[in-house]
Amino acid sequence: MHKQISIKDLCFTYSKDIIFEDFTTQINLNDRIAIIGSNGCGKSTLIKILQQKINLSSGTITFDADLKFGYVPQLIDDFNNLSGGERFNKVITRELSSSPDVLLLDEPTNHLDLHNRKSLMRMLNSYFGTLIIVSHDQELLSSCVNVLWHITEKKINIFKGNYNDYIQANDAKRNLIEKELYELDKQKRDIHLSLMKEQQRASKSKRKGQKSIRNKKWPTVVSKAKFSRAQKTSGDKKATINSKKNKIKDKLDSIYLPEIIAPTFAIASTKITDNQLVYINDGAVCYLENKIIIQSINLSISGKDRIAIKGDNGSGKTIFIKAILNMPDVIKSGNWHMPKQECIGYLDQHYNSLIFEQTVFDSISKLMPEWSCDQSRNHLNSFLFRNNEEVNMKVTNLSGGEKARLSLALIAAKTPSMLILDEITNNLDIETTNHVIQVLKNYPGAILAISHDDNFLREINIKNSYEIVNKELINSYLEIT
C-alpha cells in the first residue's frame, strides 16, 4: 500500500504557453480520479507527468520510491494484427499482472464493444489500488470515479464526486448565478423606470410653472436640483449594479458552459426523400483473400432511416461499411443496390475525408465554389470557426474536436442523402461529442452508425439496430437501451 502522492504548485508550459499551473493536491490510496476537459487541454500530458515521463516546468510531485505504476496509453502500437479492443485487453492484462499500486488509463473505453466496456467497469470497481483515468465516457465517469480533475482555463479544478454529481452541482451554480443576474437586471429596470417618472414629474412641474407665469400667478417651479439629485442617485445605483454584474459574470465564466452549434443544412443540394437508398439481399463480404467475414446480409435503408450496426470487436463492422462505400479491398456477393458515392457522407474517427494540407477556409470554399467569402465565413461561424486564426489554420494543425466540427460543416454545406458514421465519438471530449449530437439531430437524411456508445446512439434518435453475430447480420428489432 502506498502513502499519499503529494503534488505541490504543479505548472507545465509548452512552447511558452501555459497548459496548467498552480495545482496542489494529495492523491490518497484507493482514490478513483478522472481527468476531464476539452481535447488538447493537457489530460494525457498530466498522466505522463504523474509517471515522471515528462518534466515539470515547476512544482513537485513526491511519492514512495517503490511505488509501482501501471499504464495503458490511448494509442497502442503493439499487436498490429489485432483490433483496438483486442489490443487494449492484451495491454491491460499485462499491466495488471504486475499488481500496480496506481493504474493509469488514457481513454480506456474508446475501442471497446458493449461487453468489454461492462467488463472493464466491473474490473475497475474491484481494483484494489489507486485509479487515475482520462476519459470522456459519461457512464464510466458516473460509475467508477469519486474525484474529478477538470482542466479548464489553464487551471485544474478538483471536484469530489462522480460526473453526474459534477453536472448537477454546475447546473445548480449556474441557475443560482443566472437568478442573481436576473434580479440585478430587474433592479436596473426599476431604477430606470423610477428616473423616467421623476423626469415626467419635473417636466409636468415645469409646464405648470410656465403656465402660472403667463397667467401672472406666483410660479410653481420645481428646481432642477431635485431632478439632478435623482439622476445622480440613479447613476450611482446603476454603477453599483454593473459592478455586481461583472463580478457575477466572472463566476459564471468559471463554470464550464459549452457553446451551442445550430447548423443549417443545405437540403436543396440533394433530394431527401423516403425512397429506398440501400437494398442488400443474401449478401456476403470478404477481403481479397476470399475469407468470408459476414454472410446472410439482408438490409434495406430508406431515405430517413436511422440504423446502428453493432457487434463485438473484430466481428466485421468496419468491413461492412467498406463494402457499402465500394472500397477496392472488399469483395461483395449477392444482390447489392447502393446510392451513388457522391450521395454518401462518410465520417470516421480519423477524419479521412478531410484534406490535411488545406486550410479550414479552403476546405469549405473548394467544396462550395459558388459561395462568396461572406457566405463561407458565416457557415464556418455556425460551427464555431470564427476568428481569422481559426479560419486560416491548416487542417493538419486542428485538434480532434476541431476536425470533427469541420467535417460536420462540410456535410451541412452539401448535404448527402445518407450519412455513415464509424465510431466517430472515439477520442472526442464531452463538449465535442455534444456538438456532434446537436448537428446529427438536425440532419435530414438517413444515418447508418457504428458505435459502442448507446447514449450517443439514443441521443441522435437511432432506435433500430442490426448486430453481427457468428458472421451473420441479424436485425435485433430492439431500441437502443
Q: What is the pLDDT of residues 106-148, one digit of tens each?
A: 999 988 887 888 899 999 999 989 999 999 888 899 999 999 9
DSSP string, 343-380: GEEEEETT-TTS-TTSBHHHHHHHH-TTS-HHHHHHHH
d(CA 381, CA 395): 16
d(CA 44, CA 241): 43
DSSP string, 317-348: HHHHHHHHTT-TTEEEEEEEE---GGGEEEEE
3-state class of 422 per DSSP? strand
Strands 276-287 and 155-160: unpaired
pLDDT at 173 (0 to 100):
79
Residue with cell 458514421: 421
- Helix, strand counts (H, E) of the chain: 13, 18
d(CA 391, CA 87): 37
Task: Spell out, as residue ranges, where the chain has pLDDT lower than 70.
Answer: 1-2, 191-192, 195, 197-238, 241, 245, 247-260, 263, 266-272, 288-289, 477-481
Cell (9 digits) for 391: 479560419
pLDDT at 219 (0 to 100):
47
pLDDT at 164 (0 to 100):
87
Q: What does the chain come to in residues?
A: 481
DSSP letter at 394 equals: B
Q: Enumerate residues 6+ apart whose C-beta is below 8 A from 73.
A: 44, 106
pLDDT at 15 (0 to 100):
80
pLDDT at 305 (0 to 100):
93
pLDDT at 427 (0 to 100):
73
Nearest to 392 by CA among 362, 350, 418, 356: 362
Single-letter amino acid code for the residue at 18: I
